[in-house]
Amino acid sequence: MSELREGGKGKRRIVILAEGKFTPLEAKTASGLIRYKPEEVVAVIDSTREGKTVQEILGFGGDIPVVKDVLSSLSYNPDTLLLGIAPRGGGLPEELRKQVLSAVENGLNIINGLHDKLSEDPELATLANFRDVKIWDIREAKGYNKVAECKPGKIADKVVLTVGTDCKTGKMITSIEMAKEAKNFDWNPCFVATGQSGIIISGEGVPIDSVPGDFMAGALEDFLIQKSKSYDLLLVEGQGSIIHPGYSGVSLALLHGSLPDAMVLCHYAGKSKFNNYDLPIPPLSEYIKLHEDIAKPLKPSKVIGISLNTSELNEKEALREIEKTEVETNLPTIDPLRFGCAKLLEAIEYLKKDNVLSQM
């Protein structure tokens, strides 16, 4: 299934299924692939936005068309359908199922980021076999059966983990952008994907929220040990939030599995309540202390910077919010997409000194 994973230029021609949800916040998987691999995307399916371009909706992505359904996308010669949204709970809604069946009937491979394993769905699997197409379930977690050993010395390089005040705060984007910028600071970096969007972009990673709870930290630990043989800086994509009512377990597993040398806190500027919950988001200072306190017993780690998603602010407002956050936290603050993340790389330069954290 390497042709579905690799995503090298010219290897995939993807139509993204984002029916009724093609917005920057609701179609995170779709927008992530379009941002980082636009050459692979030939069309997006969303009948409620048919006739528009990706650029008009997302503000990036160029002239990629938005079409009504799978049949309408065939004129763009796709070879793969990507499920570009993640409904709460990870199931396949009936209206999307019809489109997936249509894609398989027309010979398209399927990239599936849902919790439901479409390769094990009797109807879809039988049809896929008949049409000789492949189904890649990104959240396949078979084979992960190791409890974390909590031995930081086995990871030979430095680890930076993005953590969040909530879901959808920019943890993946911050990790990717830091990995890109790190090359300018003489690091040999690796972006470590832990969710379906990141894995689609990078072609590999640990689908952390599908791994059994006992083995989540161990799965990431093993992956980092292997990657540390080839890289000197691992930028680990965070998930959820350590106090999120629904997803805190995944966040804690990532913290314990990565045993980071440093952390970057990600926040959606202006957001005051958790996604899907009528609960207030605490001040950033509380998050900073909480993460550092939880990390300390296993391996001391500091939050070294703040990444703000300022997409709903104009540039002047964004700069004002960044300045305000720097004053509030006394930490370098950036929006990685608008202003780059050199300040964060400057903040982790101290990691090049051996054993610096053991002295904290």
Q: Decide if 40 contacts 79 (C-beta within 8 A).
A: no
CA distances from 216 to 23, 77, 144, 274 (A): 30, 39, 8, 24
pLDDT tens per residue, range 81-135: 999 887 666 678 788 899 999 999 999 999 998 888 999 999 999 999 999 999 9
Q: What is the pLDDT of residues 295-350, one digit of tens each?
A: 999 999 999 999 999 999 999 999 999 999 999 999 999 999 999 999 999 999 99
Give the pLDDT score at 358.
38
Query: What span, in angstroms and rounded, lies between the C-alpha atoms of 105 and 141?
Result: 27
Tokens of 137: 């379930």
Q: For the chain, report the end-to-end CA distance as a whole number of angstroms.
A: 45
Q: Where are the domains of the chain?
A: 2-137, 152-359
Q: Is the pTM of this model over 0.75?
A: yes
pLDDT at residue 5 greater than cutoff 70: no
pLDDT band at 228 (very low <50, low <70, confident <90, very high): very high
pLDDT recorded at residue 354 = 58
Q: Which CATH class is domain 2-137?
A: alpha beta
Distance in angstroms (rounded) separating the CA atoms of residues 95 and 107 = 19
Q: What is the pLDDT of residue 140?
A: 87
For residue range 190-212, list pLDDT tens digits in order.
Answer: 999 999 999 999 999 999 999 99
- Copy the structure tokens of residue 262: 């440093």
Q: Residue 2 has what pLDDT?
A: 60
Residue 229: pLDDT band (50, 70, 90) is very high
Q: Can you name the residues that pair with 16 across neighbouring β-strands?
A: 44, 82
The label of the residue with tokens 């570009």 reads: 84
Asked if pLDDT for residue 171 goes beyond 50, the answer is yes
| pLDDT tens figures, 27-86 | 888 999 999 999 999 999 999 999 999 999 999 999 999 999 999 999 999 999 999 887
Fold agreement between 2-137 and 152-359: yes
Mean pLDDT of 258-284: 93
Which among 75, 76, 43, 40 has a CA at the least distance from the CA of 57? 43
For the chain, the average pLDDT equals 92
CATH placement of domain 152-359: 3.40.50.300
